């Protein structure tokens, strides 16, 4: 009885537990290599596989060599193009540099030349105008003398018809030194008056007849009368000479002022041109230095 109970109990207990017995076959075969298979291959002794590998290596090497040849040609072509571009850039840079330097030097030379011209115009122009002014003053004085002499002859000729007296060249005795002197003019008229008594033919002249008429008048002295008239003629000649000289001097001063102004404006215009040239020179020089600095920076970057 106990034995049967025990058998029945074990049977029921085993019925409730899952069976651990493998009842199916695996579908996939493991492909994991063991440690001893890592260094070996099943194709190492396969002749056909060795031929395929050799053919692949040969074709690959040949393609690499062909590729290297093509790349070498392309590299050479690119190098030639790069060298050509570099030469063109260098040539262009030299031309630009030469042109810039020429323009800079031209501006500088032009500025210096114009500066010298401005100085020359200012100095020599002022000297020339000064000398011209001196000459104009001399001309003004000479013009005053000429006008004064003409006025003296005119006023002396008005003394009792003296202009018609032809027995003595009294007008020729008036010069640039005595036309202002009262005594000299009085002496000239007295000389004519003396001819009225010395030369018989002169007594019929208008001047001599007037003097004879004055002698007949009581209280009238002909010499005194003609001396007073000669003094008036001297004053009139002096006034005419001074007026003419002053007018000529004023005209000369006005002309010299205009000349000085013209010289000043010319110098100012030249200085402005010089300033513009200097500014252009500085701008071109600054731009050229800036380009050179950029090129130096690029060269440093390329060398790095």
- Give the domain extent around 176: 137-263
Q: Which residues of 83-97 are buried (b: 16+ CB within 10 A; e: fewer)?
A: eeeeeeeeeeeeeee
* Domain-located, residue 48: no
Handedness of CA 126, 129, 135, 139 (dihedral sign): negative
Structure tokens at 299: 């060269």
- pLDDT at 5 (0 to 100): 43
* Domain-located, residue 259: yes
Residue 118 has pLDDT above 80, yes or no: no
Higher-pLDDT residue of 280 and 121 is 280
pTM of the model: 0.54
pLDDT tier at 2, thresholds 50, 70, 90: very low
Kindly report, residue by residue over 120-148, the tens digit of the pLDDT.
777 888 888 888 888 888 999 999 999 99
Q: Which residues of 238-267 are buried (b: 16+ CB within 10 A; e: fewer)?
A: bebbeebbeebbeebeeebeebeeebeeeb
Structure tokens at 48: 């056909």
* Domain-located, residue 94: no
* Domain-located, residue 108: no
How far apart, in Å, do the first and last CA atoms of the chain sit? 104
- pLDDT at 36 (0 to 100): 47
Number of domains in the chain: 1
* Region of poorest pLDDT, from 130-139, 154-163, 209-218: 209-218
Alpha-carbon span 297 to 293, nearest angstrom = 6
Alpha-carbon span 16 to 38, nearest angstrom = 47
Residue 13 has pLDDT above 80, yes or no: no
Find out whether 188 and 174 touch, Cβ atoms under 8 Å. yes
* Domain-located, residue 172: yes
* Domain-located, residue 276: no
* Phi–psi pair at 150, nearest 5 degrees: -65, -40
* Domain-located, residue 246: yes
Alpha-carbon span 191 to 172, nearest angstrom = 13
Report in angstroms the alpha-carbon separations of 10 from 5, 15, 260, 269. Answer: 9, 8, 148, 135
* Domain-located, residue 272: no
pLDDT tier at 6, thresholds 50, 70, 90: very low
């Amino acid at each position: 009885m106990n034995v049967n109970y025990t058998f029945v109990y074990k049977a029921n207990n085993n019925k409730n537990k899952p069976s651990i017995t493998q009842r199916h076959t695996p579908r996939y075969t493991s492909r994991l290599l063991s440690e001893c298979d890592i260094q070996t291959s099943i194709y190492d002794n396969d002749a056909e596989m060795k031929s395929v590998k050799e053919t692949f290596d040969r074709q690959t090497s040949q393609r690499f060599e062909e590729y290297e040849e093509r790349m070498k040609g392309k590299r050479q072509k690119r190098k030639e193009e790069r060298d050509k571009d570099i030469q063109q850039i260098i040539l262009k840079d030299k031309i630009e540099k030469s042109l810039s330097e020429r323009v800079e030097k031209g501006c500088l030379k032009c500025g210096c030349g114009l500066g010298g011209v401005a100085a020359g115009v200012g100095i020599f122009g002022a000297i020339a105008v000064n000398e011209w002014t001196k000459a104009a003053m001399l001309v003004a004085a000479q013009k005053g003398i000429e006008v004064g002499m003409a006025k003296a002859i005119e006023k002396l000729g008005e003394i009792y018809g003296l202009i018609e007296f032809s027995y003595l060249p009294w007008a020729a005795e008036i010069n640039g030194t005595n036309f202002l002197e009262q005594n000299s003019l009085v002496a000239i008229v007295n000389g004519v008056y003396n001819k009225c008594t010395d030369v018989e033919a002169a007594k019929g002249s208008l001047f001599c007849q007037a003097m004879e008429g004055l002698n007949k008048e009581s209280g009238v002295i002909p010499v005194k009368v003609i001396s007073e008239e000669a003094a008036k003629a001297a004053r009139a000649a002096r006034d005419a000479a001074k007026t003419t000289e002053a007018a000529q001097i004023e005209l000369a001063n006005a002309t010299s002022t205009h000349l000085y102004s013209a010289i000043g404006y010319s110098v100012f215009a030249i200085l402005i041109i010089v300033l513009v040239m200097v500014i252009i020179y500085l701008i071109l020089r600054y731009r050229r230095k800036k380009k050179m600095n950029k090129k130096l920076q690029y060269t440093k970057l390329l060398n790095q």
